[in-house]
Amino acid sequence: MIRELIVYPDARIKNISANVRSFGESLTSIIEDMKETMIDLNINALSAMQIGIQESVILIREKDEFKAFINLRIIGTEGSISQSESSLYYGDLSVDISRADLIKVIYDDENGAQQHLNCSGDFSRVLQVQSDYTFGSTFMDRVGPKGRQNIENQLEYGFIDGDGGSCPTVFVRDYISRAINYVLSAILITLPISFFFSDEETLRTLYKIDLYSLGLVGLLIASYFFYAQYEIRKFSTCSSCQTGNIFANSIVYITELLFVGVLTYFFMS
């Protein structure tokens, strides 16, 4: 079965994969799903965590052959090479990352037999990248503080940190909240301006604009509330601290909308 990839800002990528203990049908099913997903996406390496399966399974494809690395551990490294890396998790973002050139690993094959391997070059880097995913990290965790800050400025929600992810620095609902405040402020500004016009047609036009603007605020409030529900499901660790604020803010916005609506009616009529 083709699985959906975990992509930024899904916080599940920070979960640490459990060691595989049972080498039976369940493992075979996981590997088959990974194969189908890799073929569908035309990629050559995948960890089970990237498709939301919290098991320490890595699958590498060379031409038409697939090789599984289960419970992979890096036990030795030599040399260091810096190279630009991209990530399926972060999309188009790429960063120069320094990794070991030669690595020594132990792992279990699909039958549970322990294997040893020394590898270098591109294959070594691929295994290191996939190993990071099994331990709840991405290449961003290998960037220094200065580079991390520069990259974070390019990310809409900031870095996803901690077990299960932390609340992002900026929510989309925050932008909707600003839009609500801007439109309400614009309506309030038109009220004193109306005193400078005696022409009935102009006042009617202002009144219509304000009515449409009030309707827009109503739509924005509904968008704020429902999109916020989507965000707290996406960032599950934020639910407890944010749900109350969302309801409270929605009530405040509705109250402000009614207040401004009443003012508009009396001023313009």
At 70, which CATH number? Answer: 3.90.45.10
Considering the domain architecture, whether residues 148 and 199 belong to the same structural domain is answered as no
Does residue 160 lie within any of the structural domains? no
Burial level of 24, CB count in 10 A (0-12/13-18/19+)? exposed
User: Is the Cβ–Cβ distance between 31 and 59 less than 8 Å?
Assistant: yes
* 259 contact partners, CB below 8 Å, separation of at least 6: none
Residues 28 and 100 in one domain: yes
pLDDT given for residue 164 in this prediction: 42
Whether residues 94 and 217 share a domain: the answer is no
Residue 19 lies in a domain: yes
Same domain, 132 and 192: no
CA distance 179 to 173: 10
Provide the residue range defining the domain that includes 211: 172-268
Q: Residue 243 has what pLDDT?
A: 61
Q: Which two tokens stand for residue 221?
A: 């409030």
- 94 with 144, same domain: the answer is yes
Work out how many domains the chain is built from and give that number.
Answer: 2
According to DSSP, the β-strands at 45-47 and 57-62 are antiparallel
Measured in whole angstroms, the distance separating CA 264 from the mean position of its chain's CA atoms is 41
Is the same domain home to 142 and 49? yes
Amino acid at 10: D
Last residue of a domain, one of 87, 117, 152: 152
Q: Judge if 144 and 23 occupy the same domain.
A: yes
Distance CA 123, CA 230 (A): 39
Statement to judge: residues 87 and 23 lie in one domain: yes
- The answer to the question of residue 237 being in a domain is yes
Whether residue 198 is found in the same domain as residue 146:
no
Give mean pLDDT in consecutive 10-residue pieces for the chain, a chain of 269 residues: 88 88 93 96 95 95 93 92 88 86 94 94 94 88 75 71 49 82 87 74 82 90 85 57 69 89 78
183 and 60 share a domain?
no
Residue 159 lies in a domain: no
pLDDT at 211: 87
Residues 176 and 147 in one domain: no
Do 242 and 129 lie in a common domain?
no
